[in-house]
Amino acid sequence: MSFIQYGKQVIEDQDIDAVLAVLKENQYLTTGPRVQEFEQKMCLFVGCNYAIAVNSGTSALHCCVRACGIGKGDEVIVNAISFVASANAVVYEGGVPVFCDICEDTMNLDLDKLESLITEKTKAIIFVDYAGQANDYHRLRKIADQHNLKLIEDAAHSVGLRVPESVCPRMPMVGSYADLTALSFHPVKNMTTAEGGMILTNNLEMDGICRRFRAHGIDNDYTKRHLHYYDMVELGYNYRITDLQCALGLAQLDRLSQWINRRQEIAEIYDTAFKNYGHLFYPLNNKLGCAYHIYVIILNLNNLNVDRDHIFNELRENNIGVNVHYKPIYLNTFYLNMSENKYYKGLCPSAEKIWSRIITLPIHPGLSNEDINRVIYNVKNIITKYQKVKIIQYTKTKKFITENYCSWLNDPSVTKYLETKSSTMSQLSQFVHSVINDKYCLMYAILYNDTHVGNIKFQPIDWINNEAEIGIIIGDKNYWGKGIATQAFKIGMNLLKEKGIRTFKLGVIKDNFPALNLYKKLGFKITQDLSTRNIFRMEYNT
């Protein structure tokens, strides 16, 4: 079975033809007219004034930092979780990255924590559109303006994202709002030039700085090659990109919006497939629009009996090319070894917590529907295998008739809210056999780390009207208060939903407050007050 990569470029005939055309012309292989054409086309696509193409996303970030005038000792606030280049670009210029913790649901910058990190040494903010998610641009701009800071957007993940008008009316496309925006065209990004990047800005002065910086600090570009004279006015680097790469970029840009749409379609398929597994794993809470450069799930390790790496390895063993994006930057050896102990484990608690739980699933326009279904099947199958709470259906070969079960039914503290008040092993056996043989009933044993701790029962089940009555008992008091009932409910209801059940009903004694709170949390609503029996009737509709 083929290996499904987490990300992959799309190369089609028009891409190959565009690159071959440059070779056949045999005029410009390095920086030439395709570079300028690519820059102009990106300006039109995004809606910004200037674009400077360079040889990588890292080069783009370095140019941004230089254009902001960052120097020795200047502080720049950076996402704790991103690729290392987001912070390294600051270090290149002698600046000091100040790592800001993330929001645990989006993994974007936590703006509440950001403001507390601003000092008199702070000169800029580099914010990352993690996974392709839009940030709160209005609030970022307000913070930057209030403190006279430059705003740099690391849009390596979000190039091509059209931002909803409700998020930013004056910015339809990512890349036209910050002082400078850095793009990446690495092969796994939303479009590619093989390797490459770009700086976007509306500031003429910053445009000039970036253009010189990418070409050794020289004030001439390729259009003035007929002149022998040039002047190196500042120290720069060779960050130039080739015509070959920009020819590819031009061809790719024509289909970028189409590819973003496909990424969003795949993400929606994943969201739908995984929506009932939130007790085990869940996707990022995309609030403001997302290009889905990557699709990240967060494992609920409290409900699993293995760690992230175990699941990661098993998925890869099954040819699902998962990845992890990313380790907190400051936990890399280079940063931990920097002087003055600026960086240390525990610096950004949310980032470290989430890093240990995240897995990136395959998402790119080249995925077939068969590939997507394989990913979904393996993710569900492998993760659910390691859930601490499981339910197993009572059958003729799996009856769970034990002395332990019988003892629950003879414990007043357990049965005070049940109709059954006592039971012998014989009575229990008869009851279980009647359940197994009743086609309008399904009963499941609740296991916690493979120990039988309770039962959940659906009876009667109306298969015609797709309704079921539900009841649950956590009989072993040693397992009360651990959230086991909540998980068992979710698992059981999901199983019945897959069988077509759409409405769940139950009765609960009014003063059984733990049960009432549980059912309300699960979405049940009181539909009837049976005062004579001291019972509430509750109902849940999918």
CATH number at residue 514: 3.40.630.30
Tell whether 237 and 302 lie within a shared domain: no
For 347-386, how does the pLDDT look when each residue is reduced to its tens digit (9 = 90+)?
Answer: 999 999 999 999 999 999 999 999 999 999 999 999 999 9
| Same domain assignment for residues 97 and 206 | yes
E strands in 339-380: 358-361
Beta-carbon contacts of 381 under 8 Å, excluding residues fewer than 6 positions away, are none
pLDDT for residue 344: 95
Half-sphere exposure of 189 (CA within 13 A, CB side): 29
Task: State the Cα–Cα distance between residues 287 and 284, nearest whole angstrom.
Answer: 9
Residue count of the chain, please give it: 542
CATH number at residue 300: 3.90.1150.10
1 found inside a domain: no
How high is the pLDDT of residue 482?
Answer: 86
CA dist 243 and 55 (Å) reads 11
Torsion of CA 43, 49, 52, 57, to 10 degrees: -70
Same domain, yes or no, for 367 and 442? no
**pLDDT at residue 381, as a whole number:** 95
Q: What is the dihedral of CA 335, 337, 341, 345, to 10 degrees?
A: 60
Domain contains 269 = yes
Same domain, 263 and 241: no
- Domain shared by 40 and 121, yes or no: yes
Which of 385, 401, 427 is at the close of a domain? 385
pTM over 0.85: yes
Query: What is the pLDDT at residue 357?
Result: 98
Burial of 58 (0-12, 13-18, 19+ CB in 10 A): buried
Do the beta carbons of residue 52 and residue 207 sit within 8 Å? yes
User: Tell me, what amino acid is at 11?
Assistant: I
How would residue 167 be classed by pLDDT, with cut points 50, 70 and 90? low
380 shares a domain with 232 = no
Answer yes or no: do 27 and 155 share one domain: yes
Nearest to 200, CA basis, from 39, 36, 33, 31 = 39
Looking at the fold, whether 463 and 510 belong to one and the same domain comes out as yes
Per-residue tokens: 154:
């690391």
Domain that residue 262 falls in: 258-385
- Which of 368, 385, 402 terminates a domain? The answer is 385
CA distance 65 to 144: 15
In terms of domains, do 182 and 142 share one? yes
Does residue 202 carry a pLDDT above 70?
A: yes
Does residue 1 have a pLDDT over 70?
A: yes
Q: What is the pLDDT of residues 133-149, one digit of tens each?
A: 999 999 999 999 999 99
Question: In terms of domains, do 144 and 244 share one?
Answer: yes
CB atoms within 10 A of CB 36: 17
Structure confidence by residue, pLDDT tens digits, 236-253? 999 999 999 999 999 999
Among 236, 255, 274, the domain boundary falls at 255
d(CA 151, CA 377): 42
Residue 7 lies in a domain: no
Residue 2 within any structural domain of the chain: no
Residue 214 main-chain phi, psi, to 5 deg: -75, -10
Dig out the tokens for 84 from the structure: 């290392």
Q: How confident is the model at residue 301 (pLDDT cuts 50, 70, 90)?
A: very high
For all residues of the chain together, what is the average pLDDT? 93
Asked if residue 56 has pLDDT above 80, the reply is: yes
Asked, for residue 406, whether it belongs to a domain, the answer is: yes
Q: Is 328 left (phi over 0), alpha (psi -120 to 50) or beta?
A: beta
Q: Which residue has the tokens 């065209």?
A: 185
Same domain, 346 and 410: no
Asked whether residue 174 is assigned to any structural domain, the reply reads yes
Asked whether residue 108 is domain-assigned, the answer is yes
Beta-strand relationship, 358-361 and 295-299: antiparallel
* Number of domains present in the structure of the chain: 3
* Spacing of C-alpha 276 from chain mean position: 17
Q: Does one domain contain both 246 and 270?
A: no
Is 369 part of any domain? Answer: yes
Query: 197: part of which helix (H) or strand (E)?
Result: strand 197-201
- pLDDT one-digit tens code per residue, 434-475: 989 999 999 999 999 989 999 999 999 999 999 999 988 888
Q: Token digits for 110?
A: 């936590």
Give CA separation, 227 vs 8, 32, 220, 221, 241, in Å. Answer: 42, 15, 9, 10, 21
Q: What is the CATH number of the domain that holds 99?
A: 3.40.640.10
* Rounded Cα gap, residues 122 and 119, in angstroms: 5
- Digit-coded pLDDT (tens) for 204-222: 999 999 999 999 999 877 6
**Side chain identity, residue 64:** C
Residue 224 per-residue DSSP state = G
